[in-house]
Amino acid sequence: MASSESGYTSPKEVESKLETLRATFASGCTKDLRWRKWQLKQLFWLVRDNETAIADALYKDIGKHEFEAFFTEIASVKGDILDHISNLEEWAADEVPDAGFAFTKLGSAVIRKEPLGVALIIGPWNFPFALVMQPLCAAIAAGCTAMVKPSELCPTVASLVETLLPQYLESRAYTTVTGGAEEMSFILSLKYNHIFFTGSTPVGKHIAAAAAKHLTPTVLELGGQGPTIVTANANVDLAAKRIACSKFLNAGQICITTNHVFVDPSIHNEFVARLRVWNETFHGKPEHGSQMAKIVNERNHDRLTNMITNTTGEVICGSTGDREKLTIPTTIIDNVTMDDALLDSEIFGPLLPIIEMGFQEAVDKITEGPHPLAINIFSHKKSEIDYILNHTISGGVSINDCMLHAAVPNAGFGGVGDSGMGAYHGKLGFEAFTHRRTVARMPDFLDSAMSFRYPPFDMKNKKAVDVGTRVGFKRGETLQDQKIGGGSVAWS
């Protein structure tokens, strides 16, 4: 393979691969539903045949326990592919819009689900396999061709993806390129028909700027500081257990994990006590060895240890860990105040700041910052949950759990504002790579009936085009006159 001195894909090869992808897309073969199904099945076998190699690569790059690797990166991808295979025909079928008499009885209107074209898929390092494979699955299902750029910070996984893709998939339609920030500036200078990016908010801004030059549509799956609120009416033990678990998984290097906890003062001591118990339980006895993933590299280890060293809060358990082994245990930092540097940016590691604060004040703090990707709420009081939901904006929300909403099939997963734009998972992923193309037709014999549109214009035809004549409501209605059905769901 022609590569640059850095070992990454050379600009020349990136160009050549892109040209191939464009030609393949132009040939139309990837639009054939049988092709899509075939390639999705091949993608399934790619994962199924190589589970051990994938888990080994994840262990090598980021120290993921075999179960965690299987649970969060292998099983989830296999499930997603199977979901796409079984629903492909339904998702890809033309839709008939509710278009009124003229377009349903006289003429016709359909929405065709057409692939956007050549997609660039850029992945992060925290789920280095799943977060390129899931978008790739959606791209194949939608009929796109795709160039996959895994994170350079997990080189074993990146190299495995680069090796496996051509063994299972048609290389002329789906390919891998490698590189870091420097190589990305060239990769992004080229024109794609879609960019699907998962990564940090600052890099997301670079992606959006590069995409804007070509007016390329993007999905940006970004990060942020997802807070968890534990109110006085929470199941304190369960909250502590699930928050501790969310920090243990992938060593807290998850976009929707708890960044910091707002806990009501009335339950603060009990919550912290239970958190310590669950944290110790999850870490197990030192002689059994930790099942926790490692920090991805020295730079991030230093960043996290600096946070621990410089906090004005009270470190009640955990430590700065071992730089050589790239480990940091879950480190609970109590009595944190909002001006602590610890809260300046996304932690993305196993540090857990606790802020003693009632839920309404917590909501005020959340709304002062950018919209988070996730908010977790622990409460069994509907009015509290409704208050938090009604006064905040976030990509998703989990109630009495952490990260649960990301697992809801076909519900869409994504951020809002600073935490991203667009969504995927299941049908939403298919739609992310799809253009809904409206195709309308009217029979020629209706030409005389529609002749009002032809110049010279005649105001006598005003009635024929005035759709606002039968409004069904009266002038002078008030807010109280409005009748709205539905309502919110009972949570507790």
Is 7 a binding residue for ligand NAD by CB under 6 A? The answer is no
**CA triplet 230, 331, 270: central angle to 5 degrees?**
35
User: Taking the complex as a whole, how short is the minimal distance between the CB of residue 385 and ligand NAD, in angstroms?
Assistant: 23
Measured from each CB, the residue nearest to ligand NAD is 223
Half-sphere CA count of 5, side-chain side, radius 13 A: 1
Q: Is position 372 an interface residue for ligand NAD (rule: CB under 6 A)?
A: no
- Which residue in the set 68, 221, 340, 431 belongs to the binding site for ligand NAD (CB under 6 A)? 221
- What gap in Å lies between CA 342 and CA 363, rounded to an integer? 19
From 255, 356, 384, 431, the catalytic residue? 255
Indicate whether 62 belongs to the interface with ligand NAD (CB under 6 A): no
CA dihedral 89, 42, 125, 351 (to 10 degrees): 70
**Sole binder of ligand NAD in the list 77, 88, 120, 122 (CB under 6 A):** 122
Q: Is 247 in the site for ligand NAD (CB under 6 A)?
A: no
- 33-49 vs 155-168: helix crossing angle, rounded to 10: 130
Cα Rg of the chain (Å, integer): 26
Among 223, 252, 313, 372, binds ligand NAD (CB under 6 A): 223
Which of 222, 236, 293, 366 binds ligand NAD (CB under 6 A)? It is 222
**Side-chain half-sphere exposure of 488, counting CA atoms within 13 A:** 12
Q: Tell the smallest beta-carbon distance from residue 206 to ligand NAD (Å).
A: 4
Give min distance, CB of 492 to ligand NAD, in A.
28
Tell me if 64 contacts ligand NAD by CB under 6 A: no
Buried b (16+ CB within 10 A) or exposed e, 470-491: eeeeeeeeeeeeeeeeeeeeeb
Among 61, 152, 334, 384, binds ligand NAD (CB under 6 A): 152
Residues within window 373-392 making contact with ligand NAD, judged by CB under 6 A: 373
Residues 403-432 contacting ligand NAD, CB under 6 A = 415, 420
**Choosing from 170, 221, 346, 384, which is the catalytic residue?**
221
Residue closer to ligand NAD by CB (options 64, 274) is 64
Site for ligand NAD contains 125 (CB under 6 A): yes
Look up residue 212 and give its DSSP letter.
Answer: H
Q: Are 77 and 394 in contact (CB under 8 A)?
A: no
How many Cβ atoms from other residues are within 10 Å of residue 377's Cβ?
Answer: 25
Residue type, 459: M
Q: Residue 255 catalytic?
A: yes
Beta bridge partners of 114: 435
Neighbours of 214 (CB within 10 A): 14
Complex with ligand NAD: residue 28 or 180, whichever CB lies closer? 180
We find the least distance from the C-beta atom of residue 200 to ligand NAD, in angstroms, to be 3
Identity of the residue, 223 or 318, whose beta carbon is nearer to ligand NAD in the bound complex: 223
Of 240, 245, 243, 200, which Cα lies nearest the Cα of 373? Answer: 200
Least separation in angstroms between residue 395's CB and ligand NAD is: 7
Say whether 29 is catalytic: no
Q: Residue 32: count other Cβ atoms within 10 Å of its Cβ.
A: 11
Q: Is 366 in the site for ligand NAD (CB under 6 A)?
A: no
Q: Is 359 in the site for ligand NAD (CB under 6 A)?
A: no
Phi and psi angles of residue 421, each rounded to the nearest 5 degrees, phi first: -145, 145
State which residue, 199 or 412, has the beta carbon closest to ligand NAD.
199
369 binds ligand NAD (CB under 6 A): no
Nearer to ligand NAD, 73 or 346 (CB): 346
Please choose, from the candidates 329, 332, 335, the residue with its C-alpha nearest in 3D space to the C-alpha of residue 317: 332
Mask: binding to ligand NAD, 262-301, rule CB under 6 A, as x and -? ----------------------------------------
Q: Is 74 exposed, middle or buried (0-12, 13-18, 19+ CB in 10 A)?
A: buried
CB atoms within 10 A of CB 98: 8
Residue among 139, 406, 114 at smallest CA distance from 249: 406
The β-bridge relationship of strands 218-221 and 420-421 is: antiparallel
Q: Does 348 bind ligand NAD (CB under 6 A)?
A: yes
Give the C-alpha distances (Å, rounded to integers) separating 319 from 30, 81, 284, 356: 52, 40, 16, 22
Among 63, 117, 199, 349, binds ligand NAD (CB under 6 A): 199
| Torsion angle (degrees, nearest 10) of CA 44, 48, 54, 59 | 130
CB 160 within 8 A of CB 46: no
Told to check if 24 binds ligand NAD by CB under 6 A, we report: no
Asked if 250 interacts with ligand NAD (CB under 6 A), we say: no
Q: CB 218 → ligand NAD: shortest distance, Å? A: 12
The reply on whether position 9 binds ligand NAD by CB under 6 A is no
Under the binding rule (CB under 6 A), the answer on residue 225 touching ligand NAD is: no
Q: Which residues contact ligand NAD (rule: CB under 6 A)? A: 122-127, 131, 149, 151-152, 180-181, 184, 188, 198-200, 203, 206, 221-223, 255, 346, 348, 373, 415, 420
Q: So which residues are the catalytic ones? A: 221, 255
